[in-house]
């Protein structure tokens, strides 16, 4: 490779390194905000879950079956899989591992005779499912790096409506859970029905212990209106908050994965620059040696 070609390639790699470094710093900044949002939501999500559990216990199994959104379908023939991916790439295996887990779960369900309906957030997931000719019942894009309650509400509204209309018999969500900037783990959780979501069991009993246990007198909770109506309002809220929590975890995982990927890319670019610089120096040395040899040969010819 000519010396000019090596120099041009070094300049190209240096420009790429500037871009990856900038993307790494942007992702690091967004990661801190995403971590704060996910942490601040956890107490509220726990409170909604606890309230839903307590209202389910107060309503009793008979009242649970009177509300369409609370009914457990006799047969689970259609399962909705919610895949939470990103709008953008350049984040390592962030998107691919969700798609892999979702398609693997779909194969398991289809092997047992169940039909799968796909719901996906993020352009990457949507394009991947379209490429594989998978039918998508709901696609939601444009917000995956900074989701908010309105985005989760839109998805939850469609899922609850499909469940009430018995278009879906079960709803599962698959997302990247945030552990650290270097580690994201794929998680699968059940949103509906409530029994499978570990809010109530088949007998209508709640499964979440009170926040604090004491030997003193217990507070008497009075429900107005009745617990069944309150529970009917809390269930969509529970689904929405569960989705929002998963979206925020996924957003933090996305920024962490992209920061890690861009850091690795920057390091690799530095290694390539070092290798190319060494090659350019060798080429320059070879050119100088060649010129010296030509001068010496010309001087000898004159003598």
Helix (H, G, I), strand (E, B) or coil at 34: helix
Token pair 């169940």 is found at: 114
Strand partners, 177: 185
Whole-prediction pTM: 0.81
Q: Cα(253)–Cα(233) distance, rounded to whole angstroms? A: 31
Would you write out the chain's pLDDT as a tens digit for each of its 303 residues? Answer: 667 777 888 888 899 999 999 999 999 989 989 988 988 888 888 888 888 877 777 776 665 666 677 777 888 899 999 999 999 988 888 999 999 999 999 999 999 999 999 999 999 999 999 999 998 999 999 998 889 999 999 999 999 999 988 899 999 999 999 888 888 899 999 888 876 665 554 444 444 333 344 455 555 667 677 777 787 778 888 889 999 999 999 999 999 999 999 999 999 989 988 888 888 888 778 778 887 887 888 777 776
DSSP tag of 132: T
């Amino acid at each position: 490779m000519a010396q000019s070609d090596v120099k041009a390639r070094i300049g190209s790699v240096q420009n790429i390194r500037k871009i990856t470094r900038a993307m790494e710093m942007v992702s690091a900044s967004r990661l801190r905000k995403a971590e704060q949002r996910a942490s601040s939501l956890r107490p509220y999500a726990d409170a909604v879950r606890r309230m839903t559990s307590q209202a389910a216990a107060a309503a009793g199994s008979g009242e649970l079956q009177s509300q369409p959104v609370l009914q457990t379908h006799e047969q689970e023939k259609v399962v909705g899989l919610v895949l939470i991916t990103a709008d953008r790439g350049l984040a390592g295996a962030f998107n691919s591992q969700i798609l892999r887990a979702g398609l693997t779960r779909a194969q398991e369900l289809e092997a047992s005779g169940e039909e799968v309906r796909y719901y996906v957030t993020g352009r990457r997931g949507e394009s991947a499912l379209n490429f594989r000719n998978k039918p998508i019942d709901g696609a939601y894009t444009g917000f995956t790096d900074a989701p908010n309650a309105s985005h989760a509400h839109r998805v939850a509204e469609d899922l609850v409506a499909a469940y009430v209309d018995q278009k879906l018999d079960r709803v599962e969500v698959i997302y990247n859970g945030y552990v650290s900037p270097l580690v994201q783990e794929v998680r699968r959780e059940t949103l509906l029905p409530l029994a499978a979501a570990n809010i109530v069991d088949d007998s209508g009993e709640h499964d979440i212990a009170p926040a604090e246990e004491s030997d003193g007198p217990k507070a008497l909770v009075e429900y107005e209106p009745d617990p069944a109506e309150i529970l009917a309002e809390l269930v969509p809220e529970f689904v929405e908050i569960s989705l929002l929590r998963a979206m925020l975890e996924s957003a933090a995982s996305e920024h962490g994965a992209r920061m890690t990927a861009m850091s690795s890319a920057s390091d690799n670019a530095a290694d390539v620059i070092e290798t190319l610089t060494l090659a350019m120096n060798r080429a320059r040395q070879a050119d100088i040696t060649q010129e010296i040899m030509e001068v010496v040969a010309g001087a000898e010819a004159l003598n």
